[in-house]
Chains A and B, each alone.
Chain A
Amino acid sequence: DAKTTQPNSMESNEEEPVHLPCNHSTISGTDYIHWYRQLPSQGPEYVIHGLTSNVNNRMASLAIAEDRKSSTLILHRATLRDAAVYYCILRVVVYNQGGKLIFGQGTELSVKP
């Protein structure tokens, strides 16, 4: 199964941009790159996903390297509520059966006021 590698922890200041890196050198052509985050005492929640092109939504942006071996989650202005563990995940596509998520270790993001 394809794996991801992320830094264990990162720090950010409030209202500054945050770039969370992820390496996935063994990604296959059909694996989607997903990001989830987990706030304290909660289950993970979806943030964003992409296949080849960069993606934006109301929560974040996802920048995917041309060779797809790495990606970066961008939080444009970190808030205290963004303090969480961020997981970079490869979604394995199984034909006609949806897909399962392969979780890595995650990056614990702390945000300083």
Chain B
Amino acid sequence: DVKVTQSSRYLVKRTGEKVFLECVQDMDHENMFWYRQDPGLGLRLIYFSYDVKMKEKGDIPEGYSVSREKKERFSLILESASTNQTSMYLCASGSIFGETQYFGPGTRLLVL
């Protein structure tokens, strides 16, 4: 079974802190994605990556950056966390030829 794991299920940070959210997949997938999910807004794509060291902006990249140094790992970075980044963050992976994205369980981030 495909497994996508995220480093934390719950995280509490203070405004201005640098925050790292880690995502690891075990299926050698080329594609990896970061979404955030907010009530009434659904899932929105932040960044995605089609290969190591490659990244593409999604629909709401402002305030975020990403890193993909290894194929299995895709990190989302909040350089200076703000309260409006309080949200559920979901990572997903998929093969370049596949139709399916596999999602992790999510990280619920609270920024105080």
Contact = CB atoms under 8 A, between A and B. Distances in A.
Interface residues of B, number: 29
Most buried by A among B4, B90, B99: B99
Contacts, number: 57
Contact of A49 (B58, B90, B99, B104): B99
A43 B92 contact: yes
Contacts of B43: 44, 87, 103
Interface in B86-100: 90, 92, 94-100
Interface string B32-52: 010100001011110010100
Interface in B13-62: 30-31, 33, 35, 40, 42-45, 48, 50, 58-59
B42 A46 contact: no
A3 B96 CA distance: 23
Interface in B72-112: 90, 92, 94-106
A46 to B, nearest CB: 4
A34 B99 contact: yes
Contacts of A41: 105
Interface residues of A, number: 23
Interface of B: 4, 30-31, 33, 35, 40, 42-45, 48, 50, 58-59, 90, 92, 94-106
17 contacts: A32-B99, A44-B90, A44-B101, A45-B103, A46-B100, A49-B99, A49-B100, A97-B31, A97-B96, A98-B31, A98-B50, A98-B94, A100-B45, A101-B45, A102-B45, A103-B43, A103-B45
Interface of A: 1, 32, 34, 36, 41-46, 49, 87, 91, 96-98, 100-106
Given A46-B101, A98-B30, A98-B31, 10 more contacts: A42-B105, A43-B90, A43-B103, A43-B106, A49-B99, A87-B42, A87-B43, A98-B97, A103-B45, A106-B42
